[in-house]
Structures are given as C-alpha cells and as structure tokens.
Structure 1
C-alpha cells in the first residue's frame, strides 16, 4: 500500500486518457499518451491524479493501470483519486445516478482492478443520487475504509445540505468537494457578494456551500479550472479578450505562464482551491507547473482585477 495521501496544490485530471469514449478498447498508442502525460505531470511537481469509473467508459483507468504496471515503483509516488455514482446511458437505457451501497462497492472493486492497485487514496461520490439512503452509503464507505480499499472520501457537485446530511451518518470526515470553478465559472464566488442584490436569485449557485466546506475542513477541488482555454488560448467575448490580455501581462510581469496565473487565481482564495487540470498535452501540463510548485504570487488588487475584468461589470 501507499503512504497517506499528500496535500496537493494541483491535480491532473485523467478524463482524456484511454482514447475515444465510443471505442470498446484502447490501443497501444493510448497507453503511450497516458505515460507521457504522467511523466510530464511528475516533472511539473504534480503527483495526484483524478479519475472516474466512467471516463472513457473505464478505459482511462485501464491505461493508467498499464502505466503503473510498466513502472512498479510509481504507485508509491502518486495519489490516485477516482469517482463513482454515474451510470452512463446505453442503447435504450437512459443515464442515471446510483449510490446504493452494493453499487459503490462493486464500482470501487472494478476501478481497483482496472487501475491495478490495491487501494484508492480518495473516492468521490460523483453526483448526488436523490434515491440514496445516507445510512446505506455510509455503511458502504465505512466498510471500504475498514478493509483498506479506500483511504479517504469526498463528494463532487454537492451542496452544503447534501454534504451535511451524508456527514451526519459518517464517522469519517468528508475530505473533498469537487465543483466546476474558474475565472469563467464564477457563480460560486458571486454567491458571496450578491447577497441583498436583485442579481442574487439569478446566480443559481447553492448559497453557503463554499462557506460550509471552509468551516468543516472539506477541501475544494476545481474541475475545468482553465475554462477550456478561454483566457490562455481562444476567446469569444470582449470580457474574455480583456481578461486574456490581463492574464498575459501578469504572466510576463511575474515570469510565469498564463495558465499558472489562471490557476493561481483559484489558489489565492482562502479555501486554497486545488485545480484539477484536464489535459493530456505534456506542453500544457508543464505550462501549469508553477501552480503546482509555487504559492500564488497575486496581490489582493491583482486578484480582484482578474475577477472584475472577467465578470465585465463592477462589483455591487
């Protein structure tokens, strides 16, 4: 087994590994892509890897397992996180969520087999299941932990009441909540400043979720933190163009990359948000390296300037 999970500044998301989602199997070239992505991550100071059992319909975990098999000493150097709870649509069957205890156990065992490891460092419940019984979920998580199959647990895309309801039945602390957070997806941040304004109701983000996580030691991870390159590559709106120009100026002034500036903006928040970058490109991974190895070098004023430029209107 590996050592205890480490505190990470940056995580490599593995959703893009394993080749096309509609293919039944992966090719040798897909393993090479995974191997190069892992190598680039390690060279950049990234040692945590984020999976889900549905990524590539299981192939993302499988090719990562091939990389671990090729390099037996690698497992002790990395932290592996996976998620379960989403059932993809197939033929005439619609997609659904399934957090029944036996389903959680089965999906974890399948992930461990594909990843060729005996333990997940972290397991996240991928989406809320309205039919889930929190006592049943907690029983499954306790058993997986007691048997040494999962070290710690968290959730993804859940609000504060959902987290609290599950935690009330769980003796193990929920360690993570993974949400979409970026300079483009700012509703989680806007929620905290739009109180008592007409725009509050339209914001839509579940109020108090970030504050609940801060108060209860639930770490925040951000999926899609680079916003599909809106501020480091392609721009579609005047706000994105203006923000990209500001990001580029800050990157030049601080001797780093635009990708790092965008990620530092998340890391600068008091929640110490951990971005999960979703790329298989070694060059793009390495461009994020300073976010993994250095503390954010953004001043209070620079952080606000990025936010206000991206939102396109002054704060209330």
Structure 2
C-alpha cells in the first residue's frame, strides 16, 4: 500500500483509510475477517466516530482485531467526536469525556488522530484549545483534525489551538465534486461557479491539511452509489472502459480518480464487503492519466468552461 504524510505531521499513513461506520452489520467472524483482510492489504488506518453504532462499532472493532499492545503499535486509529443527540458540542468537557469513552471502547491508551466531527456554531476556540492541550500532554491523542469544516471555521479554531490541523474529512466523490468544479468556473455566471465551501480544496493544500473524502462512491447525501447505477450511464461507461484497460474493477477506478488529485487525499472506505475493500486498496497502484481523469469528470456531467 502506498503511503503519504498525514498533513504537516511526520505520520506515514496508507492512502486508503478503512471506515468502520458499518462494522456493526457484521457478525463476530465476519468482523474478524474484514479487519484481517484490511491488514493484509496494508490498510492499517482505521476510521471511527463515537456516534457510529452508538459506540458499538468501536467495541466490535477492538474485539475483532483482538486489541493488545503488540497489535496497537501496528495500526493507526482515528476517531471523531462532537455530535450529540440534537446538537453539536465542542466544549472542553464534552471533548475530554468523549475521548475517554472512545479509548475505553477501543481498548487502547491513545488515539493517533482525533477529529472534531461537525462544526459547532457555539464553539469557543479557547475551550477546544484547552481540551487539545490536555489530551496531548496526557498522551491520549497524538494528532488533531476536523471534519466537514470550511477554511474560516478552521481559522477560527487556529486562533487558539496550537496543534497543527492535520486532516479535514469532507464529502467528495466523482458525482459530489463541487469543491473541484467551482475552481474551474471562477468569475462565471453558471451554477458551478458558486463557491459553497470557501475554496476548502485550495485552503487544505496551502496549509498542508490532508483531505479525507468520505462516501467516495455515493451521489447526493447517501442517496445511493453511482457505480452501476442507471442514473449515470455515461459515467459508468467511461469508468468501465478505463477499468478494462487497467484490468481492475470499476470500484478501483473510482477510487483511483480521487487518488490522482495532487492534493494527496486519503479516501475513507465505507464497504464491509471484503472483495470491494480489496478493490479499493488496488487503487493505490493505479495512476490515471490526465486525459482519463478529465474524461471521468466530464462523464459525470461536469461541463468545463
């Protein structure tokens, strides 16, 4: 598995992150097989959140990987906090309490990365900074990041937070690529020119923040996958043509499309299917040409100005 540096840190991570949001859909044996397959593929970066399965997903993962000190040093664990029932909460008290519960469920003493899950409009950067300082000094968290945040929200945090923001987890796929398409339509009057995220793609590149695309195969907001979907005939035809050339699956090509971007992204998988996970990991070996990348982009319905 090819690796990249996570943000401005010295942490080497695989270019594919294994999302564990749905691991509670597997039985004990299936969960063990899934985790073992990921490790065999070199995908030792596991993404969690305290709300996945109400916390059960972290517990199931820890059992499936048979967590111990030896295993812990061979894997990279990321989790997220900040979403509560009916609200978001970036208070110092909630962050610290959430991390303690996450560590207990994952049966570990530390997280490699902690992300703040969804922006909290009532955030007080000083409280986040105090929580991060305490988590870092205690050794409970080694690196920090955010999820679903725009540049000004990150800048607001950085007003007080001294630790580097190493990652930003954002929705991005071939069919959900407004952060890319708006960059083609600067000063244009069409709908694609609307800058909905404050140029987050360029901001992350300028500030050495690794973008972690979530739902890399979804269209809309969890409306379904675009691969093999009759709603996207041109896109699937183009992906299938390129997949045949490289002798890989359409899943591999869709993932390779994200990896081709020079922002050095780290897509987060969502599948619990072992074969699809392997197909995702194969994307690490594929380097799409410029013509192929743009061909896929246009086939998704994006019009270049």
- Shared fold (TM-score greater than 0.5)? yes
CA distance in 1: counterparts of 2:159 and 2:114, whole angstroms = 18
Matched-pair contact (CA < 8 Å) for 1:138–1:170:
yes
Instruction: Give the secondary-structure state (helix, strand or coil) at the position aligned to 1:256.
Output: coil
**Counterparts of 1:69 and 1:297, CA distance in 2:** 35
Q: Deviation string for 1:264-303 (max 9, x for gaps)? A: 11111111111101011111111112124x2x42111111
What is the aligned partner in structure 2 of residue 169 from structure 1? 160
**Does the 8 A contact of 1:191 with 1:207 survive in 2?**
no
Structure 1 residues 191 and 201 mapped into 2: Cα distance closer, same or farther (>3 Å)? closer
> Equivalent of 1:206, from 186, 197, 200?
197
TM-score by length of 2: 0.91
Normalising to structure 1: TM-score of the pair?
0.88
Change over 3 Å in CA distance of 1:208–1:236 after alignment to 2:
same
The whole-number CA distance in structure 1 between the counterparts of 2:173 and 2:53 is 24
SS of 2:167's equivalent in the other structure is strand
In the alignment, structure 1 residue 57 sits paired with structure 2 residue 57: no
Tell me the secondary structure at the aligned position of residue 185 of structure 1. Answer: coil
2:121 paired with 1:130? yes
Q: CA deviation at 1:41?
A: 1.1
Distance in 1, matches of 2:128 and 2:191, equals 33
Deviations along 1:105-160, whole A, 9 cap, x unmatched? 00000000000011101000000101110011011011101110001000000000
Structure-2 separation of matches of 1:135 and 1:81 = 23
Q: Contact 2:62–2:106 at 8 Å: present in 1 too?
A: yes
The answer for the alignment partner of 1:79 in structure 2 is: 76
Partner of 2:287: 297
**Does structure 1 residue 250 correspond to structure 2 residue 256?**
no
- Distance change >3 Å, CA 32–CA 5, structure 1 → 2: farther
The answer as to 2:41 corresponding to 1:41 is: no
Q: Which runs of 5+ in 2 are unaligned?
A: 1-9
Query: Following superposition of structure 1 onto structure 2, how do residues 56-205 of structure 1 map, counting pairs within 5 Å?
Result: 56-69=53-66, 73-88=70-85, 95-200=86-191, 203=194, 205=196
What SS does structure 2 have at the residue aligned with 1:135?
Answer: helix
Three-state SS of the structure 1 residue aligned to 2:73 is helix
Instruction: Report SS of the residue matched to 1:265.
Output: helix
Gaps of 5+ in 1: 20-28, 89-94
Matched positions, count: 292
**Contact in 1 for aligned 2:186/2:193 (Cα 8 Å):** no
Match of residue 260, structure 1, among 244, 252, 259: 252
How far 1:231 sits from its partner (Å)?
Answer: 4.1
2:20 equivalent to 1:14: yes
What is the aligned partner in structure 2 of residue 314 from structure 1? Answer: 303
Preserved contact between residue 152 and residue 175 of structure 1 (Cα < 8 Å) = yes
Offset of 1:72 from its aligned partner?
5.6
* Superposed counterparts of 1:223-238, under 5 Å: 223-227=214-218, 230-233=225-228, 235-237=229-231
Q: Which of 257, 270, 273 lines up with 1:278 in the alignment?
A: 270
Give me the CA root mean square deviation: 1.8
CA shift, 1:165, in A, is 1.2
